[in-house]
Amino acid sequence: MNQLIDALFTQGYYVWDDFLTEDEVGQLRDCIPEEWKKARIGRNEEVMRESAIRSDKIQWLHPSMGQPVECFLSKMEQIRLEANRHFFLGLFEYEAHFAKYEKGDFYKKHLDCFQGNENRRLTTVFYMNESWSEQDAGELVVYDLDDNEIARIPPKSGRLFVFFSEQFPHEVLPTNSERYSIAGWFRVNGVKDNQLDIAH
């Protein structure tokens, strides 16, 4: 946890390898429901499906999906508390979804705090892909705000990538193998459309 906080201070992101053990990753994968929804851009119902930008499928995480999911969420809660303690971010909620990328699926370059998601401040991406190799492709490419590539991250099992949502555009390169992740966001409270933005 100290390394995470230090790295966020100095570079704004951190790759946390072996965040969970292989067994824990397996248990988490077993919690993924059968049915997948086409991912949409933004949180609002009126937002159109946008298959030109992303082609993955998602499932929002919920504690009722099982104990391993509960455990994952409680680890995220620890990160939330530490991040608030060190950065005074006022993060108040975590939302996350499983994502499945099938062969050829991608997510073009984007920022996570866009189109109805302006309250996102800190992103986490957790990977659940055993023995991922270079031929599997599907790397996460991370850029700075001047569009320089700063990292290329293979979605290796057990790896957690954490970064400030507003500072790093990123993209998922087309994958050659089925690719599973949990993308999540810590949000600040805010007012939207004259309504208090609360957990949904």
**Residues lying near Mn ion in the complex (CB under 5 A):** 112
> Which residues would be at the binding site for ligand OGA (CB under 6 A)?
99, 107, 112, 125, 140, 155, 170, 172, 181, 183
Judged by CB, which is closer to ligand OGA: 122, or 183? 183
User: Rounded to 10 degrees, what is the CA torsion of 198, 118, 163, 168?
Assistant: 170
The DSSP symbol for 87 reads H
Considering CB distances under 5 to 8 angstroms, the limit depending on partner class, which of ligand OGA, Mn ion, none binds residue 4?
none
Comparing CB distances to ligand OGA, the nearer of 13 and 107 is 107
Q: How far is the C-alpha of 75 from the C-alpha of 89, rounded, in Å?
A: 18
Least distance to ligand OGA, CB of residue 180, Å: 9
Q: Which is nearer to ligand OGA, 67 or 133 (CB)?
A: 133
Q: Which is nearer to ligand OGA, 80 or 185 (CB)?
A: 185
Q: Report in angstroms how near the CB of residue 99 gets to ligand OGA at its nearest.
A: 5
Q: Are strands 91-101 and 179-188 parallel, antiparallel or unpaired?
A: antiparallel
